């Protein structure tokens, strides 16, 4: 993983993917958070579907380049399960936060002041007065768990039962959770989505909830899916994850066969797959030399 991180830093594809994450998160925040602006309060259904459709559209647009994370919770889950390198994860999160801030700033610049001069602001996520911090943390943990679990299920290349639209399934999970949680926490599910409007509006009340809840929920979902519910989940996979620093979810040894898997990861986008395969091939050759 460390070798792969260092090698990726020299890859142009990594920075192209990071730019895609910036652009994707920018438009996600601009359009989705734009649904709560205006002099009249929008309905929960309107906001929920705007967020869900925005996520689905953005993921569809950039998934072939970066994997379409546009959410630090997704990225942290991917690096926790070793689906992406640490270098890629750090760069993605930075670009997601910058993209969210740019999207919120752009939204503030193009809508009338009267449209954002209200408690909803630019879609700043806030905790309802009757909801405790612990309850809000739990809600954000659980709804992000649903989202990231859906992302991992959608990206499971070993499943043979998937025939619908992956981005749409992910977007619908966002809509579903918004319909439930908007009234309690604003239904963030995405640290960057909360960070951008909070930064532009200068509103940081209980903002820590939107870091810990989504990221911890995403990590839990990724680990549970990968090692319990994935099509290739098995004891040997989990054992190698815990004990082998060279573990790669795309190439780990099949139980009892010693055969290496060679599957292009879908978590970073098709256009970077060839570059990653080259890096992985180089790393495996170096590993064999070390073993000798």
* CA–CA separation, 136 and 126 (whole Å): 10
* CA–CA separation, 70 and 135 (whole Å): 25
Output the domain CATH number for residue 129.
Answer: 1.20.1080.10
42 within some domain: yes
Would you list the DSSP string of the chain? -HHHHHHHTT-HHHHHHHHHHHHHHHHHHHHHHHTT-SSSPPPHHHHHHHHHHHHHHHHHHHHHHH----SHHHHHHHHHTTSS-HHHHHHHHHHHHHHHHHHHHHHHHHS-HHHHSSTTTTT-----TTS-HHHHHHHHHHHHHHHHHHHHHHT-TT-S---S-HHHHHHHHHHHHHHHHHHHH-----HHHHHHHHHHHT--TTTTHHHHHHHHHHHHHHHHIIIIISTT--HHHHHHHHH-TT--TTTPBPTTT-PBP----SSS-GGGHHHHHHHHHHHHHHHHHHH-
Residue 68 gets the label, from left (phi > 0), alpha (psi -120 to 50) or beta, of left
Residue that has been written with the tokens 């815990």 in this structure: 242
Candidates 70, 72, 68, 69; CA nearest to 215 is: 72
CB 59 within 8 A of CB 133: no
211 within some domain: yes
Counting beta carbons within 10 angstroms of the beta carbon of residue 43, is it exposed (0 to 12), middle (13 to 18) or buried (19 or more)? Answer: exposed
230 within some domain: yes
215 within some domain: yes
Residue 120 tokens read as 């909803």
Residue 200 tokens read as 């532009």
Return the C-alpha torsion angle 16, 22, 26, 29, nearest 10.
130
275 within some domain: no
Over 90: is that where the pLDDT of 255 sits? no
Over 70: is that where the pLDDT of 285 sits? no
Residue 132 CB contacts under 8 Å (≥ 6 apart), including other chains:
none
Domain of residue 138 covers 2-239
pLDDT tens for 178-225 read 999 999 999 999 999 999 999 999 999 999 999 999 999 999 999 999
- Among 76-80, 204-208, 210-214, 259-263, name the one with the lowest average pLDDT: 259-263
* CA–CA separation, 102 and 151 (whole Å): 25
Q: State the pLDDT at residue 137.
A: 98
149 within some domain: yes
pLDDT classification of 292: cutoffs 50, 70, 90:
very low
Over 70: is that where the pLDDT of 16 sits? yes
Q: Domains in the chain: how many in total?
A: 1
Over 60: is that where the pLDDT of 1 sits? no
* CA–CA separation, 292 and 286 (whole Å): 10
Over 50: is that where the pLDDT of 127 sits? yes
pTM score of the predicted model: 0.86
């Amino acid at each position: 993983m460390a070798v792969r991180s260092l090698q990726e830093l020299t890859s142009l594809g990594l920075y192209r993917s990071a730019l895609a994450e910036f652009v994707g998160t920018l438009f996600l925040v601009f359009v989705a958070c734009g649904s709560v602006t205006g002099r009249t309060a929008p309905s929960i259904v309107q906001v929920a579907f705007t967020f869900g459709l925005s996520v689905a559209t953005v993921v569809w647009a950039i998934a072939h380049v970066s994997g379409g994370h546009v959410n630090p919770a997704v990225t942290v889950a991917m690096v926790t399960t070793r689906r992406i390198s640490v270098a890629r994860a750090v760069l993605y999160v930075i670009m997601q936060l910058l993209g969210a801030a740019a999207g919120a700033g752009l939204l503030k610049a193009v809508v009338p002041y009267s449209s954002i001069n209200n408690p909803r602001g630019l879609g700043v996520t806030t905790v309802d007065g009757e909801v405790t911090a612990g309850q809000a943390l739990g809600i954000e943990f659980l709804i992000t768990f649903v989202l990231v679990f859906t992302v991992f299920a959608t990206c499971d290349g070993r499943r043979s039962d998937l025939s619908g639209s992956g981005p749409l399934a992910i977007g619908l999970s966002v809509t579903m959770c918004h319909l439930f949680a908007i009234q309690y926490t604003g239904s963030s599910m995405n640290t960057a989505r909360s960070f951008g409007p909070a930064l532009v509006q200068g509103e940081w009340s209980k903002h820590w909830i939107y870091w810990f809840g989504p990221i911890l929920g995403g990590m839990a979902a990724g680990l549970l899916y990968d090692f319990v519910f994935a099509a290739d989940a098995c004891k040997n996979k989990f054992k190698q994850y815990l004990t082998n620093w060279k573990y790669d979810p795309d190439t780990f040894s099949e139980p009892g066969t010693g055969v290496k898997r060679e599957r292009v990861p879908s978590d970073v986008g098709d256009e970077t797959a060839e570059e990653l395969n080259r890096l992985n091939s180089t790393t495996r050759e170096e590993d064999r030399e070390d073993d000798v």
